[in-house]
A and B are shown apart, each in its own frame.
Chain A
Amino acid sequence: MLSPLYLVAAALAASFTLGLLNPKRSGAAYAITLVTLAFMAWVPAGWLWGFMAEGAQPVEIYTAGALPPYAINLRMGLAEAAMTLLITLTGLLSALYLKESLIKLGHRGMAVLMVALMAFCGIVLTRDLFNLFVFFELAAISTAGLILLSEDERALSAGFKYLIVSQLVSTFLLIGILFAYHASGTLNLDTMASARLPHGSAPSFALAFFLMFIALVTELKPFPANGWALDIYESAHPAYSALFSAAAATASLYAVDKLLLVGGPGWYPMATGIGITTFLAANLFALPQGNDRRLLGYSSLAQIGLILVVLGQRDLLGEGTPFIAFGLLVSHAVAKAGLYWLSGLVGGRSLTDWAALRGRPLLVFAFISFVAMLTSLPPFPGFYAKWELVRVLAGEGRLALLALILIGALVEAGYLFRWFGYMLKREAPAEAVNGEPHQVVPVYVAVLAGWVLGYFWGELSGVGLGHHNLLLSLPLAFALGFLLLDWLPAWVKNTLAITGMVAFFFLTYAEYDPLRLIFALIFLIGGAITLLASYDAHGRRIGFYPAAMLMYAGMVMLVRANDSFEFFAAWELLTLGSYFLILRGKHSEPHALSYILFSLGGAFLILAGFALAAGGAAQFPITALGQVAPAVAPWVFLLLATGFMTKTAAIGLHIWLPGAHAEAETDVSPMVSGILLKAGLFGLFVLLMAMGKQRLYGVELTHVLLWVAAFTALLGNLMAVFQEDAKRLLAYSSIGQMGYALFGLALMNHLGWLMALMFVINHYIYKSMLFLSVGGVAKRTGTREMYRMGGLIRLMPLSFIAVLIGIIAISGVPPLSGFGGRWIFYNAILASDYRLPMVILFLAGPVAFLYLFRLIHSIFLGQLKDELRRVKEAPFWIALPQMLYVGLLLAFALAPGLALRRVDTYLNLFFPEGGLHWEGFEITSDYGYWNPVAIMIVVAVIFVSLFAWLLFVNRRAQKVKQFNIVFSAERPFRPETTHFAWNFFAPYRKALGFLVQPYATTFWGALTDFLHTAGDLARRLYDGNGQSYALHFLAFVVIVFGVGV
């Protein structure tokens, strides 16, 4: 392992050598620079390897051969090695990226770059205060140099502002160091920390520390003293911004961390306060931001603020601090550097200009990897860090801080995912991406690093906390494998996907209990059946399979999860996968955004709920939810239930669903509706099985759920009635159906749960089937507006049969399987303690008839339009799964016991009373009885004999022409004026339309508008004027002084 001093020596030597070189030989100078930077990266890499693999011990390097305080010392430990490696690698890659620019600038520019990196490394390594100051000075001057060397004219003023700030920082730091030396008699950080005087007993030391603290924290760009940094981020060359954001911030953070050792726990709350304020403010201000680099700047400020929070919480986090802080730091550094490098490839500076990247799938993949890293999604390091941070904060009861962090993170996810949506969906600018290899390579290296770090953090989390490494779990690995196979034609990948899912089910089916088996069946086998429709797609369908399989992997992992960590990770994976799937729709950009925001909001609630339940324990089995302390149990219940209900689209949280499901592709809609929604129900099942009834302030929470469910069912159905768009109608219908299932669960009795399961199975079958047939119709007719269709029964008979069977099943009319759900429902409510919510649900039932009839009438019956006369039946691969579903539905109608009998027995564990008795074909409950086979036979016999007779007597009847009808004394001639379809239930709107006023949409819309407006107003603080910035700095100093000293 090479001495860390080489980090300093190599940079200095190379810089001087460059000075001796002929200025015209910039190529050689560039080569020297690259070699030096590579060497500088090699040094810490060796150390890191030594620490990780060979168990090396940290070393102290003393200058001048004397011990401190007579000399200065540098330390190389694990943290230092990691950080210097991060800094030097960022430097190396940035230098590579800057090839043209550096060669143009000549050797001076390269020397400045090396000095800057050397200074950053020095800040990390040194343990001496004055030495720290020196390195900061070096860093300031070289950074200013780099900024000023940028081509953008605005960089000049940004660099100047930076110089002003760094002078203030230097002055504060120097005076602080003087006083600190005066008070403690040493400049060595460790000596000073161990000799720390009790807080308050030495006013001069407190003041000294305050000055140093202010100085170093200002380097972290805290709110409001950070306008200068934003101007730099916006105007500097992106590679410099990458350095500034990743390397400089790393160094400054570590400096603050070291200083906090001196200040002691008394200063932790201050660090936390500054951090969280910055985190929230920066994210809020970023919301209305339209310039990509400034947006990234805001995001950098926010991320650094968050890490400062972690440093400020080290009294709680203790040993875990590095794991969390580093997890967030590397995610930030890698992602931010990568994004800045990417921004150099994009011509325009508006967010929508990034649509240019769309032609390069690998760059898109890079972008989304970076976004996932920044938003702490699995399997990246930030995810493990976030989990751990939230766990400890909740365990120690710092709930307000926890809430603020999660709110800020949600806002950040909002603007980052919005940007991703722009990139995939907005019109691409004419100017294509100009990616030279030396510019693209750093981006790819960053992506690779992100994934490797994800693996690494998974391992670390396994060692320290006993979690599984997510990247090693088979379903996720299978899903990610499709990233590598994306060059294959779609049908090959589809076959692989189906085989994989079916095989996985047969490998594991013995491991599930009867309840989980049903969900596993729907997710894996049901998913495979739905995937048959994907054979209809041609070409390579880039991006579809990784996304779809990620969603399925998440769902399978959810069913198989044993502890809260696995459960939550699976939840986030399925959310992410389904988001990509939904985003694929042609017009789905805003809907996908709303989906991911609601889902992440729900996920954060689940995260908080689990953390609260665990009470600080590292391992928390799902079943332990039942043993949560009574004081927090209802809150845990509330958080988890609300989180799961965002996925099932309970009323109030439902506004994402219609757009997301309706705008998705033909084969995606059944996946996200028929299958994905069940994940939320599974979560609720798990929650209720473990926690049962909970009371909060005397209110029984399951009773509240009952009301929510009833209104969800009613309003979902009512809203479906008034839709003109067939897929939106089905989407609203899903909201209603989920309301029924939730209602069953909330009844908290044996049959209620059985009813919920019945709805799980039924809804999977008929909603998948209906979305496929309506999707097929939309594909053939080119519209989803039902009133534009009509009379398609003859042209698309298979689709018609699917819809017919589907609507009979949904309506609950015997003899199809929907009736079973209704029958169990009635039996369940008879055993329930509550009666009034049933009123709402009774009203919801017949309302379903309205939209169901409208669906089949407006599309298949009535008048055929001229332009649709040549429409063909849906493609084979879309019709085939529909017919399979018809078969499944009939089978389930005849023999519900096949699926339900074992679960019925299993539910005895939770509710020994009130199960069903299965005898032959007859099913009896405590109240009534039901014989599906007998019903089917009776109905079929009557039906068939009447039909046969009618056919016989009318055997010579011929089909009349379309307009061979008379009404209002006229013979119609235009289908458009004869097809009664638009605003079909006008009287109903008159009577009950007031119930479907979009209050929820208005509320969420107002909330986001408010956040945007607030951010937009507040960010005017940063007016670009150096004097204002100085004033901000002053205000910051005064506030910190007032609060802290």
Chain B
Amino acid sequence: MQFDWMKIPYALLTLFIVVNFGMILTALVAKIAARVGRRRGIRIWQNYADLFKNYGLRSSITHGAMFYLGPVFRLTGGIGLLLFVPTIYGSYVFSNLSFAGDLILALYFIFFGTLGMALGAAESGHPHAAIGVSRGLSQVTTAELPLALAVFSVALQYHTLSVTAIVAAQQGGIEHWTLFTNPFAVAAAMLAFLGSMMRPPFDVVSAPQEIPIGPPTEYHSSYLAMMQTNRAIFPIAKIVVYMNLFFGGAASWPVFCLKVFLIYMVSVFIGVVFPRFRVEQSIRWFLIWALPLGVLAIVLV
């Protein structure tokens, strides 16, 4: 196999664009959410400020080897996920490293960061971190289920697991999008999407508003910076998968930005309206509302 070394700078270019887009997008979303609550919200470049500050800080403490690895796992998961999926349809430059594996690779790589982060947080010995992990993993078992079913349904629909081929099959007009050809799969997947975006009603995992709880509890300075970087990349990487599977992919960066923004906003709209579920409630919610949609999707396809 001949490896094209130019793929590496190209992949880094994608990464660079997505990091910046992610920083601005998350800030924008935070601002929108604040405005809904009649607050001013953060400045649009606040994320940059935080990031630079945190990268600039030098920590003098660590809880051990695994504690180190937590953010590394997390960010590797985010970058890996982004790079294993082609970003722009039809572009060689932005096809990234998708030769390494297909949709299944992307689907399972989502967990890479989660698992590693959970391990790192646990080494801190902080009970709140462990509680957060316990909640997060519990929730993910049923939240991911509709997505898995939707992916299965889409793969059945297009007879392929290749992301590029799935996007190719959706070209030629909005009516070819999976959104319209396989609406149940998309509905199920979008409910799963809510569960994975760490927004209400499914954000009890890190309970960001009231007490510092959840996996990142003990992380600070450059550890935290790494996780903040990931927070900019990972949602976008995930949305790219959604966009490619269900919303026709993107053939250019403007379309990419628009679609990613709109998909992101789905979780924001719901998040600002609904209060938070407890873990067992969200588990039941996914089983009762999202699972049947997923089942319908694989039966009807």
> Can you spell out 25 A-B residue pairs with CB atoms less than 8 angstroms apart?
A793-B65, A793-B123, A814-B105, A830-B161, A835-B152, A839-B294, A849-B111, A856-B122, A862-B122, A862-B123, A862-B130, A922-B99, A928-B102, A928-B162, A929-B102, A939-B80, A950-B223, A958-B62, A967-B127, A979-B125, A980-B127, A980-B131, A985-B137, A991-B279, A991-B280
What residue in chain B is nearest A800 (Cβ atoms)? B66
Which residue of the partner chain, among B130, B137, B162, B217, contacts A849 with CB atoms under 8 Å? Answer: B137
Does A928 lie within 8 Å of B103, measured CB to CB? yes
Q: 8 Å CB contacts to B: which residues of A933-989?
A: 934-935, 938-939, 942-943, 946-947, 950-951, 953-954, 956-960, 962, 964-965, 967, 972, 978-981, 984-988
Count of A-B residue pairs with CB < 8 Å: 243
B108 in the interface (beta carbon within 8 A): yes
Check B91 for interface membership: any CB of A closer than 8 A.
no
User: Could you mark each residue 72-98 of chain B with 1 if its beta carbon is under 8 Å from any beta carbon of chain A, else 0?
Assistant: 110110011001100000000000010
The closest CB in chain B to the CB of A812 belongs to B108
In the A-B complex, the 10 residue pairs with the smallest Cβ-Cβ separation, listed nearest first, are A928-B161, A928-B102, A861-B122, A991-B280, A934-B100, A980-B130, A987-B279, A991-B283, A980-B127, A846-B141
Task: Evaluate contact between B161 and A920: CB separation under 8 angstroms.
Answer: no
Please indicate the chain B residues that have their CB under 8 angstroms from the CB of A829 in the complex.
152
Q: Is the CB of B125 within 8 A of A862?
A: yes
| A contact residues around B84 at 8 Å (CB) | 935, 938
B69 at the interface (CB under 8 A from A): yes
Q: Smallest CB–CB gap between B137 and chain A, Å? A: 5
In the complex, B144 has a CB within 8 A of chain A: yes
For residue B119, CB closer than 8 A to chain A, the reply is yes
Which of A793, A842, A847 has most B Cβ within 10 Å? Answer: A842
The distance from the CB of B18 to the nearest CB of chain A, in whole angstroms, is 14
- Interface presence of A183 (CB below 8 A): no
| Interface 9-residue window, one of A121-129, A354-362, A818-826 | A818-826
Q: Does B160 count as interface, using CB distance less than 8 angstroms?
A: yes
> Which residues of A sit under 8 angstroms from B101, Cβ to Cβ?
814, 823, 928-931, 934-935
Interface contact A842-B160, CB-CB below 8 Å: no
* Residue in B closest to A829 when the chains form the complex, CB atoms: B152
Contact of B58 among A813, A838, A954 (CB under 8 A): A954
**Nearest CB in chain B to that of A981: its residue:** B130
Contacts of A814 in B (CB 8 A): 101, 105, 108-109, 112
Q: Which residues of B contact A919 (CB under 8 A)?
A: 1
Interface presence of B238 (CB below 8 A)? no
- B62 in contact with A987 (CB, 8 Å): no
A823 CA to B131 CA in the complex, in Å?
Answer: 31
Any A CB within 8 A of the CB of B240: no
Q: What number of B residues sit within 8 Å (CB to CB) of A? A: 81
User: Main SS of chain B's interface residues?
Assistant: helix
Check: B21 CB closer than 8 A to any chain A CB.
no
Q: Which residues of A contact B279 (CB under 8 A)?
A: 987-988, 991
User: How many angstroms from the CA of A4 to the CA of B160 in the assembled complex?
Assistant: 84
Q: How far is the CA of A927 from the CA of B226 in the complex (A)?
A: 36
Q: Which residue of A lies closest to B131 (CB)?
A: A980
Known: A849-B141, A927-B159. Contact between A988 and B283, CB under 8 A?
yes
Known: A843-B141, A849-B141. Is A934-B152 also a contact (CB below 8 A)? no
Q: Is residue A586 contacting chain B, with contact meaning CB distance below 8 A? A: no
User: Count the A residues whose beta carbon is within 8 Å of the partner chain — how many?
Assistant: 78
A750 to B: closest C-beta gap in Å:
16
- Check if A890 is an interface residue, CB within 8 A of chain B: no
Let me know if A896 is at the binding interface, CB within 8 A.
Answer: no
Indicate if the CB atoms of A957 and B119 lie closer than 8 Å. Answer: no
Interface presence of A898 (CB below 8 A) = no
Contact A813 B60 (CB under 8 A): no
**Contact status A962-B59, CB under 8 Å:** no
> Is A599 an interface residue, CB under 8 A from the partner?
no
The CA-CA distance from A638 to B99 in the complex, in Å, is 44
**Docked complex Cα distance between A925 and B123 (Å):** 40
B250 within 8 Å of A (CB atoms): no
- Told that A814-B108, A830-B159, A934-B99 touch, could you supply 8 new A-B pairs with CB distance under 8 A? A819-B105, A856-B119, A928-B162, A930-B104, A946-B76, A956-B58, A957-B62, A988-B280
Indicate whether B71 reaches chain A with its CB closer than 8 angstroms.
yes
- Across the two chains, which residue of chain B brings its CB closest to A972? B127
Minimal Cβ-Cβ distance residue in B for A967: B128
**B28 at interface by CB-CB < 8 Å:** no
Contacts known (A967-B128, A992-B283); A984 close to B134, Cβ less than 8 A: yes
Whole-angstrom distance between the Cβ of A989 and the nearest chain B Cβ: 9
Known: A845-B148, A990-B280. A960 touches B62 (CB 8 A): yes
Cross-chain contact of B111 among A813, A838, A951, A979 (Cβ < 8 A): A813
| Residues B145 and A958 in contact, CB atoms below 8 Å apart | no
A839 touches B71 (CB 8 A): no
Q: Which of A851-898 contact B (CB under 8 A)?
A: 853, 856-857, 861-863
B171 to chain A, nearest CB (A): 20
Report B118-164 residues with CB < 8 Å from chain A CB. 118-119, 122-128, 130-131, 133-135, 137-138, 140-142, 144-145, 148-149, 152, 155-156, 159-162
Nearest-CB residue, chain B, relative to A864? B125
**A255-298 interface bits toward B, Cβ cutoff 8 Å, 1 = contact, 0 = none:** 00000000000000000000000000000000000000000000
Name the contact of B160 in the complex, choosing from A927, A930, A956, A958 (C-beta under 8 A).
Answer: A927
| A980 and B134 contacting across the interface, CB-CB below 8 Å | yes
Beyond A978-B125, A991-B279, is A928–B160 a contact (Cβ under 8 Å)?
yes
A791, A920, A921, A942 pick with most chain B CB within 10 angstroms: A942
Docked Cα-Cα span, A103 to B226, in Å, equals 93
Q: Give the contacts of B48-66 with A (CB-CB under 8 A).
A: 55, 58-66
Residue B69 contacts which of A934, A947, A992 (CB distance < 8 angstroms)?
A947
Partner pick for B76 among A808, A847, A943, A960, CB 8 A cutoff: A943
Contact with B along A894-932 (1 / 0, CB 8 A): 000000000000000000000000011110010111110
B226 touches A987 (CB 8 A): no
Which B residues touch A962, using CB under 8 A? 125
Residues of B within 8 A of A925 (CB): 161
Say which residue of A807, A839, A935, A947 sits within 8 Å of B298 (CB atoms): A839
Is B243's beta carbon under 8 Å from chain A?
no
User: Does chain A have a CB within 8 A of B40?
Assistant: no
A825 to B68, CA, bound (A): 33
Contact of A823 among B105, B119, B126, B160 (CB under 8 A): B105
Q: Is the CB of A827 within 8 A of B127?
A: no
Instruction: A919 to B2: give the CA distance in the assembly, Å.
Output: 12
Residues in B whose Cβ lies below 8 Å from that of A956: 58, 60
Give the nearest-CB partner of B282 in chain A: A991
- A845 vs B283: C-alpha distance when bound (angstroms): 15
Q: How far is the CB of B154 from chain A (nearest CB, A)?
A: 11
Q: Does B115 interact with chain A (Cβ within 8 Å)? A: yes
Are A987 and B155 touching (Cβ within 8 A)? no
Measured CA separation A826–B156 after assembly (Å): 10
Answer whether residue A850 sits at the interface, using C-beta atoms and an 8 A cutoff: yes
Would you call B284 an interface residue if the criterion is a C-beta within 8 Å of the partner chain's C-beta atoms?
yes
The answer on a CB contact under 8 Å between A846 and B145 is yes
CB of A779 within 8 Å of the partner chain? no
A839 to B295, CA, bound (A): 7
**Alpha-carbon distance A835/B131, docked complex (angstroms):** 36
Q: A861-B123, A946-B72, A991-B284 are in contact. Are A935 and B145 (CB under 8 A)?
A: no
Residues in A whose Cβ lies below 8 Å from that of B203: none
Question: Whole-angstrom distance from the CB of A855 to the nearest CB of chain B?
Answer: 11
Cα A957 to Cα B144 with chains together (Å): 37
